Structure formats: structure tokens, C-alpha cells
Amino acid sequence: MATTASAPAPMDVVVTEADQKQADKLKDEGNAAFKDGKWQLAIEKYSAAIDLNPTLAPYFANRAFANIKAENYGYAIADATKAIALDSQFVKAYYRRATANMALGRFKDSLKDLQAVVKVAPNDKDAQTKMRECEKIVKRIAFEKAIAADDKKPCIDMAEVNDLSIDNSYDGPHLPEQITSEFVLAMIERFKQEKRLDRKYAYKILLLVKDYLMKVPSLVECELSKTTQKFTICGDVHGQFYDLMNIFEKNGLPSEDNPYLFNGDFVDRGSFSLEVILTLFAFKLLYPNHFFLNRGNHETDNMNKVYGFDGEVKAKYSDRMVTLFHEVFLWLPLAHVVAEKVLVVHGGLFSDDNVTLADIKATERNREPPDSGIMCEILWSDPQPQLGRGVSKRGVGVHFGPDVTRNFLERNNLSYIVRSHEVKDLGYEVAHNGKCITVFSAPNYCDQMGNKGAFITLGPSLEPNFTTFDAVPHPNVKPMAYASGGMGMF
């Protein structure tokens, strides 16, 4: 059943009374599914209604909204565009497209649609407010880019940090010259109590991690533990600190005998992203050869502006700390190969059949992701069941089929790929004849999806073993609590 905007309806399309009655029934069922948070079911119901009557803008606008909730932003833009083509005065369609573009960090495109809303409905005060907020974002980004172009120096260096004083009221752990497990565990306990690390120590962790990451390639090779022959791969955590602690409770803390790889999207959405990322960075410093981090599409400037991480860091520390986080994120590796046979990337594979591991390793990553090419597709692509490639539901990256996966693995002498990037009901999914595995480690994503989380453990045979888990309680702070502007406008 179609889930994207259908082809333009012919001018002489005939919709019978029976078809219209059934279409309205399906639309109402879609609305009920949407209300229950069942986004995919809502999409299917709206699609069935569209199949019966492809001439009504509200059907496409409703499906666009469901696709936004399912994070299918490319499909949402297509649906909203179709709704506008059917009814150029349909305000909700412009809102939907503005929201989807905002979600992709396309702030100028979002602003154009909000300006269109104000033009169609000049007395809509809410639309005027949203338009002004979006204008502020566009102007701020332009200003930040102008500053960045004028000043290429790091926002802060270790000498400056060493000169910082410790706050007199600080009663937490103190970071020694060499990070220790005692410090990391004390820091974690402090985070559990909803207390902060002193800014001096947060800065030092970031600078030390940045210094380390700058020395590693874009593709990192790693091995199982020599003694336990174990390796754990986790997917998206998305600021769900207490669920991260639950992973360590179930699977053991990171160590030389218990290596981990976290596969991107450490931050955003969840409102404990700062605690998550400082914990992960601290373990990276403690066990640099046994704790690994891949970059995700949310370790990027545009996503952090929209989904709460920037706002959280500003609220808990400062604007300057935000800038330093962005500098560190630029140096996160794009891929890891485990035991020479398992490729781990956040998103997926490529639009080009000829990409090799050597190409990934040679990719310049010290930048924000471009709109196409290896880096973009590693961070954004998704698998599809059909052969070949398809247009991305997200509006960036590609969909790749089982033949694409098979050809890539054969070309690069690999056994299978592990990727994340998508919510799965069980926390994982095995696709492409076992050659493409998705793992997602944020249970009850955004406190509303009801999904389990999962992690993968590998042994000497490299056969993936899955552990699933439910969400655990967390303090009463809602997801996206720090998202001021951006998606918080809608």
C-alpha cells in the first residue's frame, strides 16, 4: 500500500458515493490510530483513503502529519506538497511542510512555508508568531556562520580551561590528571541524583576526547575482548540516561574485558542528553581501545538546534559549551569494523555500488554532513525489502535493498552490517537475509512509542545475540524539554 504522495489525480477522476463513504471511514480510522500514537497504522489508513479518492487535500495533509510523527520527513514533504497542489489555500498543508523541513534542518524552506501561511491567513496570530521565531533561527544561523568564517580557532583550549576555578558550592568528584574508574563512577552517581559536573571538568573531558578523536581515522577497526571474546553493540540512546544505566546494569560496565560500541544518536530528543554524552566520553577516555563511538545523524549542528541538545547544554552550562560539543562531534568516526567482518554504521549503505571500506576510511569527516555522498548516506540511509534502491522516506540518504547489501558485503569481504537509526518494536530487526541488522537502544522512545530497547553481543563466531529490555523510570522531565524554537514551535 502506498505511503508516499500519489501521482497527480486526473482531472476527470470519478469518485463514487460508495467510495467516498469508505474513504471517509478510513480517514476516521486513521485519525483514531493517530490519536493512539500508532503512526504506521494511521499512514496505512490514510493511504487507503487516498487510493479511493486522491483529490482531497486533507487526506494528504493528514498522512503528512503521520509521516512527520514517524520521522518520514521526505514522505511528509511530498504529501504536503501534493495537498498544496490540490488546494493552494489549505493552511495545514503549509504547516506540515514547514514542520518537516524544520525537522531536517532546512530552516529557510520552513520559513517560506510559514510566510505562505501568513499570506493565506494574515489574521492567524499563531502563524505570525511561528514565522517570527523561524526568522530568528535563520538570522541566528547566518550570524553564527559569519562568525565561524571569521574565526577558525577552537572555542576554548586546555590552557584556558586549566585557569578556570571550581565553583565554591561544588561538592562532586574531582577529575584527576588521568581519568580513573573511581571518578567516572562517582560522576555517574552524581548524574543519577540530577546534579551537574563542574564546568571545568566537563570542558576537560570534551577537550581530551577531541584530542583523541582527531588522531583516529573515519573508519576504525576493533576486536573482541582477548579474554572474554565478547563485544557489545548498542544503537540509539537519544538522551535516555536512565535507560543507558539499565544497559550497563544488565550487561556490565565497560572495561577491557567488556568492550562496547555505541552506534550514534547519543543526544537529542531525550532530556538527559548531557549526562549520556559525558558518560560515554568519560568511558572513551578510560578505555580508549575498548570503548567505541560512531557518529549519528544527531551528532550534527542542525539536528542539535532542533531536537533539544543545544538548549539543554545552554540551560545546564553555556553557549560556549555548545560550540565545543559541536567541535568534538565533527571528529567522531563514521564507521567501525569488528573482527574484520562486521561493519557498523549509524544509517546504512550507499547510492554508489563501488564504495569500499578504503573509501569510507578516506572520507573527510571534520565537517557537517553534506546533502549527498558517503558521509551523508552513512548517517541517513535505511534498508528496504525491495531490490535496488529507492527514494528515502527521510528526504536525505537512500533506501537500499538486499541486493545492494549483498554486493557491498561481497566487494568488501564482510559478513554483515549492523546499523541503527530506526525505532523497532523489539529493539532490533534482522533483514536482508540476515545480512542487515538494525539495533535501537532507546526503549519507549520519547516516552510514547512503547518499543523495547535492545543491544547485540558478539562472541567468537560473530553470531549476533540480542538482549531486549523495557524502559525504566526517569525523573519527571519530558523529552524535548529543552527544545526552544525549532520543532518546539509546532
DSSP string, 64-117: HHHHHHTT-HHHHHHHHHHHHHH-TT-HHHHHHHHHHHHHTT-HHHHHHHHHHH
Q: Are 136 and 485 in contact (CB under 8 A)?
A: yes
Q: Are 274 and 190 in contact (CB under 8 A)?
A: no
**In whole angstroms, what is the distance from residue 39 CA to residue 30 CA?**
9
Q: Are 172 and 278 in contact (CB under 8 A)?
A: no
**In whole angstroms, what is the distance from residue 54 CA to residue 285 CA?**
56
Which residues share a beta bridge with 430?
Answer: 437
91 C-beta neighbours (distance < 10 Å), count = 17
Q: Is 174 annotated in the active site?
A: no
**In whole angstroms, what is the distance from residue 165 CA to residue 277 CA?**
23
3-state secondary structure (DSSP) of residue 435: coil
In 150-189, which positions are buried (b, 16+ CB within 10 angstroms) versus exposed (e)?
eeeeebbeeeebeeeeeeeebebbebeeebeeebbeebbe
Q: Based on the number of CB atoms within 10 Å of its own CB, is 149 exposed (0-12), middle (13-18) or buried (19 or more)?
A: exposed
Among 298, 336, 421, 474, the active-site one is: 298
The catalytic site residues sit at: 298
